[in-house]
Amino acid sequence: MTDDLVDRLRRFQQGVFPRYRREYRRLVAEGQHPGTLFIGCSDSRLVPYLLTGSGPGELFIVRNVGNLIPPWDASHGFHGTTAAIEYAVQHLRVRDIVVCGHSHCGAIQALYADPLPDAPHMNRWLDLARDAVLPVTASEDALRRTEQRSIVLQLERLVDYPMVRQRSERGELHLHGWYYVIEDGRVLVLDVANGRFEATDILPPAEGNPSAPNAFQRR
């Protein structure tokens, strides 16, 4: 382990943990009861706790390359993301599920490039976003649109999970699509009614800004 990581651990133990000591002990005694399942990309620039201002016990987090959701599969296999969704919905009884993608996503860029010969597992995993790809060259605008289209694709797949569909139909569970624009520090939220990602702040999108909300059409 590097000295830098050891120093960070010391800072947590000596400076951060004491401020949350009572909360951590309560969470151990009473168990966790997060209200939100956050499904995000593994990208190091996406920090869910900073983004949402959450503290210990508030988010149940699943992260993978590209914030992708596999199709529902009832077989007995090693389904990590599926297992996390299942646990969060059925046992933790979360009220909200957020699927959060972001700008400049390496997984989306990889969809427009040749498969990597030394990464067969990643190439296969990226198939979960391939239907979001546009039949155009990989321009900045196409990449931003594909990132948003992939979020929609994952939400559509999530609704096929029986436990998600059942609780959603009863009004006990709500699904949300977020698009985090890293360079602007802004989150665009999917408005299902008009099929667009809308800004959550009062700043008007700059004219011609590729990170502005775009209507999605996966057809």
Half-sphere exposure of 35 (CA within 13 A, CB side): 5
Which residue bears the tokens 């999917």?
190
Buried/exposed code over 117-127 (b: 16+ C-beta within 10 A; e: otherwise):
eeeeeeeebbe
Q: Which residues contact 191 (CB under 8 A, 6 or more apart)?
A: 197, 198
Mean pLDDT of 37-47: 97
Taking only the tens place, the pLDDT of each residue in 123-154 is 999 999 999 999 999 999 999 999 999 999 99
From the candidates 43, 145, 149, 157, which is the catalytic residue?
Answer: 43
Active site residue 105: yes
Q: How far apart are CA 61 and CA 49, in angstroms?
A: 10
pLDDT confidence of residue 46: 97
Let me know if 96 is a catalytic residue.
no
**Residue tagged active-site, from 41, 144, 145, 149:** 41
Active site residue 10: no
Annotation says 43 is catalytic: yes
Each residue's pLDDT tens digit, 62-76: 999 999 999 998 777
Catalytic residue among 21, 33, 45, 95: 45
> Which one is catalytic: 100, 105, 144, 149?
105
Each residue's pLDDT tens digit, 80-102: 999 999 999 999 999 999 999 99
For 34-199, CATH number? Answer: 3.40.1050.10
Of the candidates 100, 102, 144, 167, the residue annotated as catalytic is 102
> What is d(CA 48, CA 63) in angstroms, rounded to the nearest whole number?
10
Told to judge if 102 belongs to the known catalytic residues of this protein, a careful annotator would answer: yes
Structure tokens at 117: 């010969």
pLDDT tops 80 at residue 213: no
Domain ranges of the chain: 1-31, 34-199
Please write the tens of the pLDDT for every residue from 174-206. Answer: 999 999 999 999 999 999 988 899 998 744 444
